[in-house]
Amino acid sequence: MIRRLRGGKAKIEDLPIFDKDGEILANSKERLDRWKDYFNGLLNVPSNLHPLTIQQIIPATIDPNEQRRQDKAPSLKEVQCAIKQMKNGKASGNNGISADIIKAGGLPMVKWLHEIFVGIWGNETIVEDWATAILIRLYKNKGDKKISDNYRRISLLVVTSKIFSRIILNRVQALLDKQLLEEQAGFRCNPSIVDQIFILKMIMEKSRNVNKPLFMLFIDIMKAYDSVDRALLWNICRHYGLTGKIVRILKLLYHDTKAQVRINGELSDIF
């Protein structure tokens, strides 16, 4: 009762935020427009890479057997495997269909998706709904909650597009993994950054024991994933041995992408 009378913590969705000029916005429509403008500026970063930099990345020579393995249309088994890998209880994209619903569809759903995916693979055209993501914000637990930079975004994508993307990842993951440095633990299958933390801890203890200075450099690239040059990314994919077919399919998934911000069930205009 006391807690109810006192009033709980305000939800993040209901908090006022600063606009780009530092003025407080409390109106829900104004806040929604502010977040739309913020994410629009974040996600549509102009490239400043020189074209020669991109051209200097040479595509790998691909074995004919590997070419056929990557280029063949998705199999029914691949679709089943990708569906099983989807996590339960996760939010859906703009069509409201969750992974749980797709899994409940059983084999008929698998066959239906397989037919769609084979068509996409052959025609190299994607479903229109796949191009629009719903953006929600998560507070980073540091800094002023009224400042936009203190939030990170999560993109809610249509689950069928995530299943399709998982099929591609499953095909190329082993090929990419064997080319990555042994020291890399993040963003790959199985290795954990806990190992790196343990190694650093041991190095620090060793330096103290022998009374030697230790220098470490931690680099945090601001908004790194939102500002990757895609033309450069496609060339790097070819350099790592992905076929032209796979890269064209990946380009489709990123072509003419759009987004909407969602706050308290309200959606911003598409941008």
Burial 236-258 (b: 16+ CB within 10 A, else e): bbbeebbbeebbebbebbeeeee
Average pLDDT over residues 170-176: 94
For residue 233, CA distances in Å to 230, 240, 246, 254, 268 come to 5, 11, 13, 12, 29
Q: What tokens were used for 191?
A: 């290795």
H/E stretch holding 198: helix 193-209
Band (6; pLDDT cuts 50, 70, 90) = very low
pLDDT bracket for residue 224 (50, 70, 90): confident
Confirm if 184 and 195 have CB atoms less than 8 A apart.
no
* pLDDT tens digit sequence for 9-24: 556 667 888 988 888 8
What's the pTM? Answer: 0.84
H-helix or E-strand containing 110?
helix 106-123
3-state secondary structure 221-266: CCCCCCCCCHHHHHHHHHHCCCCHHHHHHHHHHHCCCEEEEEECCE
Question: Among residues 28, 29, 36, 42, which one has the least CA distance to residue 271?
Answer: 36
Asked whether residue 3 carries a pLDDT value surpassing 70, the answer given is: no
pLDDT exceeds cutoff 50 at 4 = no
Segment 120-138 shows an average pLDDT of 94
Nearest Cα neighbor of 94 from 262, 271, 263 is 262
What pLDDT is attached to residue 14?
A: 74
Structure tokens at 187: 């963003």
Q: Taking residues 186-202, what's their average pLDDT?
A: 84
- pLDDT tens digits along 26-62: 888 899 999 999 999 888 877 788 888 888 999 999 9
CA angle 136, 125, 73 (to 5 degrees): 105
- Beta strands 266-267 and 17-18, pairing class: unpaired
- Which residues are within 8 A (CB) of 140 and not within 5 positions of it... i.e. 6 or more apart? 150, 151, 152
Task: Report the percentage of the chain scoring pLDDT > 70.
Answer: 95
DSSP state, residue 121: H
Dig out the tokens for 182 from the structure: 């042994």
208 burial via Cβ count (<10 Å: 0-12, 13-18, 19+): exposed
The 151-156 sheet, strands edge to edge: 151-156, 132-139, 258-263, 266-267
